[in-house]
Chain A
């Protein structure tokens, strides 16, 4: 299987470093970015399959970055990383086209499972526009909003 190309975006240096190692051990090729602008730059330069994006970052709102990503690179899947306080942002993100979200602190295996799902989804509808489709997404949105 071709290695999944990941981009990890978070404002915690150490988290990026450690998670990168953990993901690479599971077979992904991982790039990291410590800010939104940096992430967008990497997307310009590299081919990325899945982005793991922290929603609450200083300087640029995670949702804003997502919007731009989806606009410029509609084929890239995005998984949102969120602390409990930013659940609303996660829901907004899902509506804007994020594939799923993961609550912090997250389990690495949990994250990896979602990454694989996203990758699979990407393959299944490679050229279609990035409107949220599938029962899974709607179910997740309703679940989140209920909370």
Chain B
């Protein structure tokens, strides 16, 4: 029972005092972490997009500049008039500007490679049927996709078309592939970040770190999204199943797509760590708080239990002290009470001794008179011994826990029977006894014998109080109120002095002359009523009257063991 109550108190403290604020704090933390994570992940995406944006600009710029370099050359001289040596010089000049220029060639409008500077043997070859030549017809500057060409190595070209007189001339430069791959692919982006170019039909234009060579079809092409002009940032998958964070941007000259991507796990790694750390902190902190809380609640509950136990102990001690005081008072009473019979017995004993002395000394020989005296004394001693017996019995009765035999009692006939027992005496003493009952009195579960004893005692006391008074009346009222039966015995007799009101229930307290009252009646009645789970109270005014009120519970009065 103790353990249960302890657990209950602890649970109550935990839930009401600690749990609610804890939950709130957790919610706040959770929300913060969520927003933090969301913000951070957006940040990562934006970073990638920014990188893609910058990179695209870089590539576009590079291509634009190379094209412009060529344009400058083309515009500043007659292409048709350039001979081989001139071309060498021009290439050197171009390469000074940017090492990206690999070789240089001039083509006539039929597609013949009329002049060439570079490591391959391409001079004199005809390119009329090549893709790039066809496209170069339509645009002043044309940048091609990557192709193999005669050299059988993936490369792409920038072609400048110039009309001189009636004819078109074409100045073509090849961009150093390795240089270009490096330009495009060389970005540092975590462990898996890469950048590469694909054309609009999904053919890789540059090398891809995660696998894929130029001119190979990009197997992940279907996973891409892109926008006309803006950088598009999105999450998507790939052929291998890995999830990537993408940022794509279109180039227009040529129509390539720059793809910058990073493995999601890689991209979000720092975020994941941060969140994990935060969560670990929260969980750890939370665990500590919970432990502390639990410990605190336990400690508090324990203290409360202790306090409760102490309180109960003190209560018990108080009752004990009260009982000891009662016993003390009672002992004094008993001692005093027994003194009187002892006193008498002593004098009788002295009497007998004296008479026997007379017999022995011859002063007064035994005769019928003296024998009578001795007999009287002995008889008297017997009477006093009986008196002592009654006193100790009364004491024992007070101390003993009497067995109660509970029964359901119909109050009307019960009370009438009790009244019947004292009616005769009342009539003799010219005292009027009246009884009144409430309507619809419920039945009472009680011990009828003991209750009868208690009530008769009250009635007798009432009759005693009316001795010698005129118009003496004893009124008995039985009523019922909120779960209790109330029996009141009222008289208009001599009343009880205020200083005695506190003592009347004490054993051996009596205001009656010796032999007329043992002082045990009210204390016994008190004990009986307490045993039956009720209370007995008194109201009195000197020379006006007294009312004793007995309250008995209707509900099952648990058989309380009388405190002794």
Contacts and interface: CB of A to CB of B under 8 A. Distances in A.
Contact of A22 (B340, B342, B350, B380): B350
A137 B339 CA distance: 25
Contacts of B350: 18, 22, 107-109
Chain B, interface SS category: helix
Chain A, interface SS category: helix
B336 interface: yes
A24 to B, nearest CB: 11
B135 interface: no
Nearest to A58: B513
Given A58-B514, A83-B335, A107 B380 contact: no
Contact of A59 (B345, B373, B513): B513
A15 B332 CA distance: 21
Given A18-B377, A56-B336, 4 more contacts: A18-B380, A107-B350, A108-B350, A109-B350
Interface in A77-112: 83-86, 104-109
Contacts of A14: 344, 380, 383
B346 A85 contact: no
Nearest to B514: A11
Contacts of B332: 84-85
A58 B447 CA distance: 35
Given A12-B514, A59-B513, A107-B346, A18 B351 contact: yes
Interface string A44-83: 0000000000001011000000000000000000000001
A25 B357 CA distance: 12
Given A22-B354, A84-B336, A85-B336, A106 B514 contact: no
A108 B347 contact: yes
B252 interface: no
Contacts of A109: 350
Interface in B350-370: 350-351, 354
Contacts of B340: 12, 15, 83, 104
Interface in B303-361: 332-333, 335-336, 339-340, 342-348, 350-351, 354
Contacts, number: 64
Interface of B: 332-333, 335-336, 339-340, 342-348, 350-351, 354, 373, 377, 380, 383, 511-514
A58 B519 CA distance: 13
Given A18-B344, A58-B513, A59-B513, A104 B339 contact: yes
A28 B373 CA distance: 19
A109 B354 CA distance: 11
A83 B339 contact: yes
24 contacts: A12-B340, A12-B514, A14-B380, A14-B383, A15-B344, A18-B347, A18-B380, A21-B373, A25-B354, A58-B514, A83-B335, A83-B336, A84-B339, A85-B332, A85-B335, A104-B339, A104-B340, A105-B342, A105-B346, A106-B346, A107-B346, A107-B350, A108-B346, A109-B350
Contacts of B354: 22, 25
B335 A106 contact: no
A105 B336 CA distance: 10
Contacts of A107: 346, 350
A19 interface: yes
Interface in A96-147: 104-109
Nearest to B354: A25
Given A22-B354, A56-B336, A105 B511 contact: no
A3 B377 CA distance: 26
Contacts of B342: 104-105
B339 A22 contact: no
A75 B492 CA distance: 45
A102 to B, nearest CB: 10
A36 B134 CA distance: 156
B514 A18 contact: no
A84 B511 CA distance: 19
A11 B514 CA distance: 7
B497 to A, nearest CB: 13
A42 B514 CA distance: 22
A96 B549 CA distance: 43
A106 B339 CA distance: 10
A53 B346 CA distance: 17
A106 B343 contact: yes
Given A22-B354, A83-B335, A15 B513 contact: no
Given A11-B514, A58-B514, A22 B347 contact: yes
Contacts of B514: 11-12, 58
A106 B347 CA distance: 8
